[in-house]
Amino acid sequence: MPEISLLQHITDPLLTQKGVELWVLREDLLHPGIPGNKWRKLKYNLQAAREQGCETLVTFGGAFSNHIAAVAAAGREFGFSTIGYIRGEETLPLNPTLHFATQCGMQLRYLSRSDYRLRHEPHFQAEILKTAPKPYLLPEGGTNLLAVKGCTEIVSELTEPWDVLCVAAGTGGTLAGIIAGAAGKGHIIGFPALKGGEFLQKDVTDLVQAYSGLTYHNWDLQTGYHFGGYAKHKPELLAFIQDFHAQHGILLDPVYTGKMLYGVFDLLRQEYFPRGARLIAVHTGGQQGWAGYAQRYGLELDFLR
């Protein structure tokens, strides 16, 4: 399997002025079909599914979900059938994410918003699994302890010294893996993509504890960079992403990594980081979301052409 983990150094007058070094860890280039943290989160789950003789990956997600796209691609690549339970009603034509998923062979099933709320209930899951041959259940967003294990490797594979590691957070599984992998070293900052991301304090603490049996205090959340909530469109964020792409040749995504790096630069302006600090911002991928995002908000984006 081609696995690379590439650190791209960022040069910017603001970084020079503040005496801070920044690298972007290109996890988005890690695996061609299954980018970023979704590959990290799936890796040991796919191994477990195979070892248990499972044939069908069953999971949940929203209609634009990076996780749905990743599971569909992983199923195709590693020879599993896939079923995706999608929140809400079917909309035709399918949006680019769901179109891609069906192209990979994923069977889509739609759940009303009220049924979708039951997705974590063991009873509801058991009913759903009865309808799939030899199923392996992946939770929404793919976060479980094997996902956390996969994400510890984001840190353990780093060879360069660093002081601060920044990462976007949805369910917090990736952040939990990074905290566990760092094992008390450095400082880790999670940037929730959702409004009200304070809930991640407990979720992430619980995940780290369940995975490692330990509690670490060398991390925190920056909850002020959600831009109105999950997958909301804000021109200011889009302008930042376009500028970052023009300056550094790195395409961020609009739901997670764009907000995180916007936050990093905002904190930089506020002199949040001490002079001499070496920062790593993890690019967790998510670029598949652009096509659907542009369609949904009627945007003409030159970097998508």
Ligand X SMILES: *Cc1c(COP(=O)(O)O)cnc(C)c1O
Q: Which residues of this protein are in contact with ligand X, per CB under 6 A?
A: 36-38, 66-67, 141, 143, 168-175, 253, 256-257, 284-286
- With respect to ligand X, which residue has the nearer C-beta, 37 or 56? 37
CB of 140 to ligand X, least distance (A): 9
**Min dist. Cβ of residue 148 to ligand X (A):** 9
> In whole angstroms, what is the distance from residue 140 CA to residue 137 CA?
9
Nearer to ligand X, 75 or 142 (CB): 142
Closest CA to 149 of 271, 45, 247: 45
- Within 8 A by CB and 6+ apart from 184, the residues are 216, 218
In the complex, what is the shortest distance from the CB of residue 88 to ligand X, in angstroms, rounded to a whole number? 19
CB of 67 to ligand X, least distance (A): 6
Q: Which residue is nearest to ligand X (CB)?
A: 286
Report, in Å, the least distance between residue 231 CB and ligand X: 11
Please, which residue, 58 or 231, has the CB nearer to ligand X?
231
Q: Closest distance between ligand X and the C-beta of residue 275, in Å?
A: 29
Q: Is the Cβ of residue 132 or residue 171 nearer to ligand X in the bound state? A: 171
CA torsion sign for 133, 135, 141, 147 is negative
**Residue nearer to ligand X on the CB measure, 35 or 132:** 35
The residue (of 273 and 290) whose beta carbon lies closer to ligand X is: 290
